Amino acid sequence: MKIIFFFLLLLSCNFSLNSQKKGESNDLLNTAENLILINPNQSIKIGEQILKTASTEIEPENIHLILSKSYFIKGELKNAIEHLFITKQDAIQNNNQETLIKALFHGITISKFLGLDKLTDRFYIEASQLINSFTNQELRDKYTLQIQWIQADLLKNSDLLKKIITKTSSPEQNPKYFIENKLITAQILNSLGELQLNRNNLDSAKYYFENSLSKIRTDQNTSFLELQILTNYSTYFFLLKKYQKAIDTLQKALIISPNFKNAYYEEKITAQLAKNYIALDDKMKIQEFDLKATEAANELLTQVNLASNAIFNALQKEQNIKKNELQQKFNILKIIIVSVISFLIFLWIFIKWLTTKNLSHAQDVVNYLKLIDESDKKEDSIKKQLVKSNRIPKETEQILIDKLKKFESGNKYTNHDMSLAQMSSQFETNTKYLSEVINKHKGKNFNLYINDLRIKYIVKKLRSEPNYLQYKVSYLAKESGFSSHSSFATIFKNITGISPNVFIKLLKKDLKK
């Protein structure tokens, strides 16, 4: 009797210890998640420690997702991608739908950053299908809101972004997820600020950036988001020619930057500082920050190349897993064929069909891998410099500015043969004066200026006239004034961030809703 009692007591103690360990691991997991946007290095240390010591009760996919996000914040793209695909695989195996949808959203962020449109589309479609399969309505509403935000951000649709803000900014709308939505609201406001900057709506841009900052000032766990907002906000001051204010804003971001050592933002911040010091003609500072921007750009290029290889390897691994599964099935079928002679013919037909199907699918995957391997992310290394000169008489300068406004309201810029010389002739001035006014007041050279007008023209057509969505890209290129399909596609992506085909596809989806 005493032996039985002692055995039961031992089991009870063991259960209590396991429960305590599980509770401690969950607490550490929450701590690691809260540190992602403020101290990713510490988040990574905690995550790796949990992987080494946690019991099987802790879902490994949740740990790998935290690690992937932390590495992405640090700019270590290779590690971020590797942990992302592990998260995806484990979540599928464990039927963890909520972690899987988070992984797919994170995958969209990474693939969009790398400029991998096909992979972005793949993650987006998988996420949409998964959300539609949710039976929990509360969960479905939560992630529907997030995928709408992703779609609006990809489309650069400010109206849809504003609608989403109304759903995320009020605790009455969704009290359970209000804290999480507060961060989403801040990110959306930052995106709206960027859109307004691109459209030269400076007052609106300032409103969105300041509101975005106010959303996160009470939260100590959002340093990386603050870094993003400050970096974008500095452009507002630059466009107003408040160069010292832009520098002060960038310096705040520069103070935060060492916590993350993200090459992309280090390059962006230092390049913008160099640009502001060019405007102030501070040669020492120009040299200092131009050198830092170059070093960061080289590091970013290294990370992008490593990331491309990591994606190729991860997709190759997925393909190999499918092949192994196929081989296992094939082996089982062979055993059945040997064991059950009477079903030999039936099994042979079945195996042939199954093999053909899977080999076809495997070839599709291989083809897709080739596309991914050929997708190189091109860095936008264009640095705009404002021209400061008093050589143009003020009266002449104002006349040219007025003519530019009139020019922009028409569509002469869609002429295929539009050149600086031809435009100067139309404006009754010389090319030097016109080029200098465009550089000074538009912040870009003549070619960039004309290309920007053409892309805005065709985007407006696509959004306002649905029949344009049915036209081929080659027609759109010709319509907007480009000499070739390829140059149109390249410039369209440089300006909008996505290719014409993806843009049109997303617009079509938006219209269906």
Domain CATH for 445? 1.10.10.60
Say whether pLDDT at 144 is over 70. Answer: yes
pLDDT band at residue 181 under the 50/70/90 scheme: low
| Burial call 295-322: b when 16+ CB within 10 Å, e when fewer | ebbebbeebbeebbebbeebbeeebeee
The stretch 167-193 carries a mean pLDDT of 66
Both structure tokens of 124: 């987006």
Q: Check residue 380 and give its pLDDT.
A: 34
More confident residue, 156 or 105: 105
362 with 444, same domain: the answer is no
Q: Check residue 173 and give its pLDDT.
A: 52
Q: Check residue 349 and give its pLDDT.
A: 87
Q: Which of 224, 254, 284 is the last residue of a domain?
A: 254
Q: Check residue 136 and give its pLDDT.
A: 86
pLDDT digits (tens, 9 = 90+) for 14-65: 434 344 455 667 788 888 888 888 889 999 999 898 888 755 567 889 999 9
Q: Check residue 22 and give its pLDDT.
A: 56
Window from 2-16, 378-392, 451-465 with minimum mean pLDDT: 2-16
**Between the CA of residue 149 and those of 168, 206, 299, 387, 467, what are the distances in Å?**
11, 21, 31, 38, 26
Q: Check residue 54 and give its pLDDT.
A: 59
pLDDT band at residue 221 under the 50/70/90 scheme: low
Contact 199, 237 (CB under 8 A): no
2 with 109, same domain: the answer is yes
Q: Check residue 157 and give its pLDDT.
A: 80
- Domain, as residue range, for 343: 262-386
Q: Check residue 371 and give its pLDDT.
A: 31
Window from 6-10, 89-93, 275-279 with minimum mean pLDDT: 6-10
For the chain, the average pLDDT equals 81
| Domains of the chain: total | 4
Q: Check residue 352 and give its pLDDT.
A: 72
Q: Which of 68, 103, 133 is the last residue of a domain?
A: 133
**Secondary structure (H, E, C), 117-152:** HHHHHHHHHHHHHHHHHCCCHHHHHHHHHHHHHHHH
419 with 326, same domain: the answer is no
417 with 400, same domain: the answer is yes
157 with 236, same domain: the answer is yes
Q: Which of 343, 366, 386 is the last residue of a domain?
A: 386
Say whether pLDDT at 189 is over 50. Answer: yes
The reply to whether the predicted model has a pTM over 0.85 is: no
pLDDT band at residue 288 under the 50/70/90 scheme: very high
pLDDT digits (tens, 9 = 90+) for 397-450: 999 999 999 999 988 898 888 889 999 988 888 999 889 999 999 899 999 999
- CA gap 358, 372 in Å, rounded: 21
pLDDT digits (tens, 9 = 90+) for 244-278: 999 999 999 999 888 888 999 999 999 999 999 99
1 with 125, same domain: the answer is yes
Q: Check residue 179 and give its pLDDT.
A: 43
- DSSP symbol at 176: G
399 with 380, same domain: the answer is no
Window from 40-44, 55-59, 138-142, 336-340 with minimum mean pLDDT: 55-59
196 with 302, same domain: the answer is no
**Secondary structure (H, E, C), 306-334:** HHHHHHHHHHHHHHHHHHHHHHHHHHHHH
- DSSP symbol at 218: T
Contact 43, 32 (CB under 8 A): yes
129 with 144, same domain: the answer is no
pLDDT digits (tens, 9 = 90+) for 291-312: 999 999 999 999 999 988 989 8
User: Can you give the CATH number for the domain in which 236 is found?
Assistant: 1.25.40.10
Say whether pLDDT at 220 is over 90. Answer: no
Of the candidates 504, 470, 403, the residue with the CA atom closest to the CA atom of residue 413: 403
Say whether pLDDT at 76 is over 70. Answer: yes
Residues 6+ apart with CB under 8 A from 244: 280
191 with 150, same domain: the answer is yes
248 with 148, same domain: the answer is yes
Q: Could you tell me the sign of the dihedral formed by the alpha carbons of 96, 103, 320, 118, in that order? A: positive
Rg value, the chain, Cα: 28
Say whether pLDDT at 360 is over 60. Answer: no
pLDDT band at residue 148 under the 50/70/90 scheme: confident
191 with 217, same domain: the answer is yes
pLDDT band at residue 280 under the 50/70/90 scheme: very high
- CA gap 443, 384 in Å, rounded: 6
